[in-house]
Amino acid sequence: MRTLLLLVAFALSPLLSAQESVAPAKKLTVLIKPAKPFVFDKNGAPAGFSIDLWKRVAEEARLDYEFKEVASVPAIIDALKGSQADVGCGALSITAERETIIDFSHPFYKSGLQILANGAAGKSPFRAFLKLDVFKILGVLIVAIAVNAHILWFFERRKNPDSFPDNYVEGILNAAWWSVSVLITLGCENIAPTRIAGRLLGVVWMLAGVALYSYVTATLTSAMTVNTLQSDIRTVSDLQGLDVGTVAGSSSADFLNSNGIVPKGFPDIDSACRALAAGELKAVVYDAPLLKYYVSTNPGSKLQLVGDLLEKQDYGFALPEKSPLRKELNRALLKLTEEGYLDELDKKWFAQPAL
């Protein structure tokens, strides 16, 4: 009898194991951090680029999940590091430092850091005259007038003392006045050369003056316009010693600190941009697509993206280290990429502002 019971138990053990293996799948906890347009609240529900993508990935991988909003990216990283959550979703940059403590899926969006600065609201266009190139142009103009005045005075001083007195100071001043008048108006009513050499010089000066005057006017106008429309900040070196803001705990904060710039931390990019618009900051450094979206949806802020990308980065889904989900998520991401779904999301969320 005892032997019979052992045989029955041995025969039923595979069935019992099979029943244990088909236990209901765990509902995943997906942490989300608002970062418009990748994650934000829309009518009481999560929406955005990353939310749309996660829903399709979860559908493809047949995953059950629930969203849980957190206040910061470090909160997501800490929760994943402690295995208190299963996935981090949002605008999460894949960095070498983060890869040492958590894992990431394949990248799904190419990003990078960029500088946001104030436009030239209230900026005087006459600051253009302080630029070195403008000084060079004005210097060339003054030298040309002085040289022409001396040559004209030398030819005219003995035969035409009424217009160009033999006295050096008085004669040169008259000749310079004539040169400036001809340069601007192509004539001078009360002073004129009478000798052949002087008149030939006058013709040459008139012809050259037209081109010279046009060039100087165009250059100064361009310099004043550029000074009005563009920020003086273009690269990370221009941020040294300035009040710079970013989102606290973000990869942009790490980047600024590594370049010797201590930024002011803000809870989100909207508050940082409002501080910039109010004049409390000189610049904001953060992820380029998020800054671009803010500018496009806040045209009255007079803020502008300046310079090139400071550091190229990629976004991905964050996972606990050695997560068994990684392979399945990557398979789903690759399939959706091949089907063109990521291109559809890009057009949906970045072709025009999505409110």
Question: Is it true that 125-229 and 232-312 share their CATH fold?
Answer: no
First to last CA, the chain: 75
Taking the C-alpha atoms of residue 95 and residue 92, their distance in angstroms, rounded to an integer, is 9
125-229: what fold?
Answer: Helix Hairpins (1.10.287)
- CATH of region 232-312: 3.40.190.10
Which of 49, 41, 48, 46 lies closest to 30 in space, CA to CA? 46
pLDDT digit string, tens, across residues 143-171? 888 887 888 778 787 777 767 787 888 88
Side-chain-side CA neighbours of residue 165 (13 Å): 7
- Of 118-132, 191-205, 267-281, 298-312, the one with minimum mean pLDDT is 118-132
Query: What value does the mean pLDDT take over residues 205-215?
Result: 72
pTM value is: 0.59
**Can you give the pLDDT at residue 265?**
94
Taking the C-alpha atoms of residue 314 and residue 82, their distance in angstroms, rounded to an integer, is 24
Query: What percent of the chain lies above the pLDDT cut of 90?
Result: 46
- CATH of region 22-108+316-350: 3.40.190.10
pLDDT digit string, tens, across residues 188-200? 666 767 777 777 7
Query: What value does the mean pLDDT take over residues 248-260?
Result: 91
Residue 63 has pLDDT above 70, yes or no: yes
pLDDT digit string, tens, across residues 2-42? 554 444 444 545 544 444 333 346 799 999 999 989 999 99
**Domain ranges across the chain:** 22-108+316-350, 125-229, 232-312
Query: What value does the mean pLDDT take over residues 256-277?
Result: 93
pLDDT digit string, tens, across residues 88-146? 999 999 999 999 999 999 999 998 999 999 875 444 454 545 555 667 777 777 888 88
**Can you give the pLDDT at residue 16?**
43
DSSP 103-114: EE-S--EEEEEE
